Amino acid sequence: MGRVVDDQVLVALVAADRAAGRTIAFANGCFDVLHVGHVRYLEGARCEGDRLIVAVNDDESVQRLKGSGRPILPAPARAELVAALRAADYVVIFADTTVERLLRLVRPDVHCKGTDYTLESVPEGDVMRAIGGRIAIVGDRKDHSTRALLAKLGARGVGATQPPGLPASSPEPFVVWLLAHRRVPLGFLAAVLAYWLAAPTVPSIALGCLVALPGEALRIWGAGHLQKAREVTTSGPYRFMRHPLYVGSSAMGLGFAIASGTLGSALVVLAYLALTIPTTVRREEASLDRDLGGAYSAYREGRTPGSDRRFRWSQVQANREYRALAGFALAVALLVLRARF
């Protein structure tokens, strides 16, 4: 059985373990209502070192991450439950936005994350490289969650499936579903039609690129901060706007419309943007609010403080932003081939 300790005691325990030649593994999470996914994650983390430190989010940070109504259990209770698992050696409660401070404090040999991450998308990857440690992805597939467990209990009348004030979900109209779920193939069709109607010139392409490139830069900035479906991101451009990726996409679309050189082509592009982006944004906001327990509403209303998480190129790659960049480069190349010199 593990021990719940504070930072000072933890440092002393780790120092004694290192003196004895033991390796240190580190894991973290909210652990709000323990389930089998938590157990398998910590068992996997325990296999990575001789001692396992488990950092548990305090109540305020859980509420920021998961929204109103969470956590279900207070931090001391969650820490005690985690300490009772055979995998955990030391359990510490932390109040920071990330575990970077704790990682620098104890300098573990390995930082263990669940399978909803990749080696490239782990937020603390830069810190672990700086202290000479490594990242390990452990546990089973991410098909267990406290959110799903609470929803199941709510469906059986045991508890609420969503925070008060959130509207109940209802079937989407077909048009909304089509615009939100099939916007990529619709975008391809719109691009083909726009290209067929286009009559680009060198000046129109140059002006279009001047409009589009800041949009791509904004997308890259946002992608370097975004943790999709795991949190409400509040760092980077998300401190100033709710949807930098969609704002960037709109600027890129406008740039393509200008570069096309004809009114008909521009109208096709602008109509596609006007139909798909607002629909997708509304649907995504509702989904985030539902899945994150109202946390998105707090962010939208300005009740969530911004965070200072740094931009990371590895996160840009994990979010596959290279696809948008490649698409933009291809569109410009095709317009250049058709340009009237």
DSSP 168-222: PP-PPPHHHHHHHHSHHHHHHHHHHHHHHH---BHHHHHHHHHHHHHHHHHHHHH
- 49-58, 176-185, 227-236 — most confident range: 49-58
Domain range spanning residue 331?
A: 174-338
120 and 218 together in one domain: no
CA distance 314 to 123: 9
pLDDT in tens, 320-334: 888 888 988 998 899
CA distance 99 to 133: 14
How many percent of the chain have pLDDT more than 90?
49
- CA-nearest of 13, 41, 12, 7 to 27 is 41
pTM of the shown model:
0.60
Is residue 69 in a domain? yes
129 and 8 together in one domain: yes
Average pLDDT over residues 131-141: 91
Is residue 161 in a domain? no
Final residue before a domain boundary, out of 126, 155, 184: 155
Is residue 254 in a domain? yes
114 and 237 together in one domain: no
pLDDT in tens, 92-121: 999 887 899 999 999 999 999 998 888 888
328 and 181 together in one domain: yes
Final residue before a domain boundary, out of 120, 155, 190: 155
181 and 301 together in one domain: yes
Is residue 168 in a domain? no
The 8-class DSSP code of residue 158 comes to S
CB 103 within 8 A of CB 111: yes
pLDDT at res. 316? 87
Contacts of 268 (CB under 8 A, 6+ apart): 190, 193, 194, 197
Residue 183 clears pLDDT 80, i.e. is over it: no
190 and 329 together in one domain: yes
Residue 319 clears pLDDT 90, i.e. is over it: no
238 and 320 together in one domain: yes
CATH number at residue 63: 3.40.50.620
- CA-nearest of 141, 131, 125 to 44 is 141
pLDDT at res. 107? 96
The 8-class DSSP code of residue 24 comes to E
139 and 204 together in one domain: no
Residue 166 clears pLDDT 70, i.e. is over it: no
pLDDT at res. 78? 93
Q: Give the residues across from 3 on adjacent strands.
A: 90
Residue 156 clears pLDDT 80, i.e. is over it: no
pLDDT at res. 102? 95
Is residue 169 in a domain? no
Tell me the C-alpha to C-alpha distance, in Å, between residue 104 and each of 6, 20, 123, 124, 245.
15, 21, 14, 10, 32
Domain count, the chain: 2
Task: Take residue 302 and report the two structure tokens written for it.
Answer: 């300005």
Final residue before a domain boundary, out of 155, 190, 209: 155
150 and 109 together in one domain: yes
Residue 48 vs residue 297, higher pLDDT: 48
- CA-nearest of 144, 224, 5, 177 to 13 is 5
Instruction: Name the residue with tokens 């992608």.
Output: 223
pLDDT class of 180 with cuts at 50, 70, 90:
low
101 and 135 together in one domain: yes
Average pLDDT over the chain reads: 85
Is residue 196 in a domain? yes
**Least confident range of 31-45, 146-160, 247-261, 288-302:** 146-160
105 and 244 together in one domain: no
pLDDT in tens, 137-152: 998 876 666 656 556 5
pLDDT in tens, 53-86: 999 999 988 887 777 778 888 999 999 999 999 9
191 and 331 together in one domain: yes
Q: SS3 string of 238-288? A: HHCCCCHHHHHHHHHHHHHHHHHCCHHHHHHHHHHHHHHHHHHHHHHHHHH
Asked whether the CA dihedral 165, 169, 173, 175 is positive or negative, the reply is: positive
Q: Where are the beta strands (DSSP E) in the chain?
A: 3-4, 24-29, 51-57, 90-94, 110-113, 134-137
Residue 167 clears pLDDT 60, i.e. is over it: no
pLDDT in tens, 208-226: 999 999 999 999 999 999 8
Is residue 39 in a domain? yes
Is residue 128 in a domain? yes
Residue 186 vs residue 129, higher pLDDT: 129
pLDDT at res. 179? 64
